[in-house]
Structures are given as structure tokens and as C-alpha cells.
Amino acid sequence: MVKKSDIYTRKGDKGETSLLGGKRVPKFHPRIRAYGSVDELMAQTAMLRDLLGDASLRADLLEILHIQMATASILAADCEDCPAMLPEVGAAQVCFLENRIDQMDASLKPLTSFLIPGGHPAVSQAHIARTVCRRTEREILELARETSVDEEILRFYNRLSDYFFVLSRKIARLLGIEQKPWNPGL
């Protein structure tokens, strides 16, 4: 007799899953899409972190991964009195991103045009994270039309996409990669 794995439960085989709190919803529910997008963004963030050698940037991305995990758990909760203690995401996490953006931006030349993504796998990965972050933000905004979502979570993801853009430029500078400006005349 084969013992059933603890990894799969078979409860989702018919297209439903449980939220934190026990409520069953379809796997395409806005709450599932929102925290699923956060999960995808975490994987993209982790890949970016793995591509970087700079210890400071790697530490920042690890902190961002912890915040993303916290927001995923908050978004997965649909209960007044949840059985688990939920983490808090607030103004401090938004300020963390704003400080990092300001520090990186101060070391970069001012932008004079839009940039074409790419030039190095790490630069491209930062842009992939940026675009997945924008979709994640849209998914969370859609959820917020149905239910209460903490405004600081929305602010965090709006700022995080800006962080990934500035980070792409910082990575290019650190690697000596010349970023290509967009030429609208082509």
C-alpha cells in the first residue's frame, strides 16, 4: 500500500481551495489571483536575487521577499478572527522602498528618455520583476473593489515596481552595461 503524501491533499482537484480561515473559494477567485500573483512575483524576485553578487542588493531583496510573504498571507486571510497571527505591513515597509529608491537614484544619471529593457540577464530579470509587480498591483486593486485591502499594501506594490525599475538601472551601472534609449522614430 502506498502512503499518501502530505504535499497534496486532493481537496483542490475540483477547482476550489481554502483561504486562511477555512472558507472554500474557486481557484480563480480575486483573492487567490492576488496572492497567487504575489507568489509569482516572489519567484521572480528570488531569481533576480540569485543573479546578483552585490551583498547589499541581495540583502534588500531578501527583506522584500519577507514583506512579499507577509502580504501574501494577509491577502490569503478571509476571517475576522483568524486562527494564525497575521504579520503587519505598513508605512515602514513603504518607507524602506522609498529610501532604497532614493539612494539608488542619487547614484544614477538623470533619465532623458525611455529605456529598452535588457543588456544583461540581471537587468532583464529586474524588468520582468517590475512587470509582474505591476500585474500583482492590478490584481490586488481588483480584490480591493470587493473587500477591504490595507492601503499600505497597495502603496507597497506601487512603490515596489518603481524600485525594480531603478534597480534595473543600478544593476546596469554596476555591471558597466550601456542601457539603450527608446528611439520612437524607428
How would residue 148 be classed by pLDDT, with cut points 50, 70 and 90? confident
Domain assignment of residue 47, yes or no: yes
Q: Please count the structural domains in the chain.
A: 1
Domain limits for position 130: 27-77+89-109+118-176
Given this model, what pLDDT does residue 184 score?
A: 84
Domain assignment of residue 35, yes or no: yes
In this predicted structure, the answer to whether residue 52 has a pLDDT above a threshold of 60 is yes
DSSP state of 20: B
Give the whole-angstrom CA distance, residue 159 versus residue 84: 28
Q: pLDDT: is 113 or 40 the higher one?
A: 40
Domain assignment of residue 172, yes or no: yes
User: Which CATH number belongs to the domain containing residue 31 in this structure?
Assistant: 1.20.1200.10
Domain assignment of residue 13, yes or no: no
pTM for this prediction: 0.86
165 close to 114: Cβ distance less than 8 angstroms: no
In this predicted structure, the answer to whether residue 82 has a pLDDT above a threshold of 70 is no
Domain assignment of residue 57, yes or no: yes
Give the whole-angstrom CA distance, residue 77 versus residue 165: 30
Given this model, what pLDDT does residue 166 score?
A: 98
Q: pLDDT: is 52 or 83 the higher one?
A: 52
Q: What is the mean pLDDT of residues 17-40?
A: 71
Least reliable range by pLDDT among 6-15, 33-42, 47-56, 102-111: 6-15
- The residues, ordered by sequence, that sit 6+ positions from 150 with a Cβ below 8 Å of its Cβ are 74, 89, 90
Give the whole-angstrom CA distance, residue 124 versus residue 24: 38
Of 77, 92, 106, give the one whose Cα is nearest residue 173.
106
Give the whole-angstrom CA distance, residue 62 versus residue 129: 14
Domain assignment of residue 168, yes or no: yes
